[in-house]
Amino acid sequence: MPLLVMKFGGTSVGDLARIKNAALKVQREVERGYDVIVIVSAMSGKTNELVGWVEQTSPMFDAREYDAVVSSGENVTAGLMALTLQEMDVPARSWQGWQVPILTTSAHSAARFVDIPRENIDAKFAEGFKVAVVAGFQGVSPEGRITTLGRGGSDTTAVAFAAAFGAERCDIYTDVDGIYTTDPRISSKARKLDKIAFEEMLELASLGAKVLQTRSVELAMRYKVRLRVLSSFEDTDETSGTIVCDEEEIMESKVVSGVAYSRDEAKMTLVTIEDRPGIAAAIFGPLAEAGVNVDMIVQNISERDYDDHPGAVTDMTFSCPVNQIPRARKAMEDARASGIINYDDLAVDTDVAKVSVVGIGMRSHAGVAATMFKALAAENINIKVIATSEIKISVLIDRKYMELAVQALHDAFELEKSA
């Protein structure tokens, strides 16, 4: 019997009516001949409520009890979904993470998958059950404690089950009807993509696109799990949504597939540091140890400073998420206090945004950077920092120009047109 994995996010199961709507979609796939594993999130807003209760009860909470509380939202949804399907005469059973069992590491609130044994769920399918409704976002540690996977963990759960069970496809139901060339709220010309390569989706997810969680795309790419992103709130068929797949499945793609953005960026500059071998390691080693996710890095041309700074000196600029500024500042201050580095000032600019163009076609086409920079220059948008990869170019700009930059780049690469 072919098997399908279907994942429903928080907005898709936000109340009983929406759970019924999702159950109808599951029923339709069962009628098409599939056994179905359904992965559910907590109802929209429920996880935030549970986190709030934990923090009010115990500001310095025990991570094991935190996971026990915040994982309960998915358990409620799974039970309600199974009951709804049973009322529709679809043989269904709900599963919590420990019942599968979903085996994870012991890193509470940030656990990673170790294994998903198939035997228990396969046995239920063999008994005649057609649907296994599994609580997403959770698992069980080697010590037998409930663990959670971090925000967005239900997407990752869905992909992991699709890989473990050899599913034909993993359908991610959400509040949008697919992957777009950019945010439709910013550009009215944004176009829904029929297909996008794993690598492109991974870059877009890591650069700020919120449709799929980054870890889920990494897992899908590793195990070649075909993903489909589609809307819970529209009638769908086999052609609906966007397929995330291997590059080989895409016959011909545009040079640039999408424009992503992130408002939550900060630019930090260490002013007047020594320009010597090992200085980069001395800076970015402590940042890594502090858990700071550094993205873009620029080192200025070195110069010989005044008498109070003999030898070559330079400035080092890097970007990181805004919420990691305190950690980054402390790491640099501690490094200076311990004599690892020396600098005159640490300048922080939070009024910036990152805008990126992504496309696997960039590998074989020249001139993408030139087109990008010309489009920004035409709008009088100054570039502060640039970072590139094989399929991505990112720039840091003043935040007030972010939407203008997205629109200009979308137009420059004619993303409203299909390949």
Mark the binding-site residues for substrate, compressed into ranges: 47, 74
Residues belonging to the binding site are: 7-10, 47, 74, 174-175, 180, 185, 210-211
Q: Residue for token digits 């311990």?
A: 338
Give the residue from 39, 42, 15 showing the smallest Cα distance to 26: 39
- The DSSP string of 128-170 is T--EEEEESSEEE-TTS-EEE--TTHHHHHHHHHHHHHT-SEE
Q: Contact 306/325 with Cβ under 8 angstroms?
A: no
Residues belonging to the binding site for ATP are: 7-10, 174-175, 180, 185, 210-211
Q: Looking at 166-304, list the stretches that DSSP marks H as alpha helix, in order from N- to C-terminal side.
A: 198-206, 214-223, 279-289
Q: Contact 275/259 with Cβ under 8 angstroms?
A: no
Q: Residue for token digits 């509470």?
A: 108
Q: Contact 26/88 with Cβ under 8 angstroms?
A: no
**Residues comprising the chain, all counted:** 419
Return phi, psi of residue 169, to 5°.
-165, 160
SS3 268: strand
Q: CA 207 to CA 209: how far, in whole Å? A: 6
Give the residue from 401, 397, 403 showing the smallest Cα distance to 265: 397
Residue 282 one-letter amino acid: A
The answer for residues whose C-beta is within 8 angstroms of residue 253's C-beta and 6 or more apart is 197, 359, 360, 361, 419
Q: Contact 189/41 with Cβ under 8 angstroms?
A: no
Question: How is residue 314 written in tokens?
Answer: 């330079």
HSE value, Cβ hemisphere, 13 Å, CA-based, for 176: 18
Q: CA 37 to CA 162: how far, in whole Å? A: 9
DSSP conformational letter for 302:
P
Return phi, psi of residue 103, to 5°.
-85, 130
Give the residue from 181, 183, 199, 201 showing the smallest Cα distance to 191: 181
β-strand partners of 319:
267
Q: Contact 391/369 with Cβ under 8 angstroms?
A: no
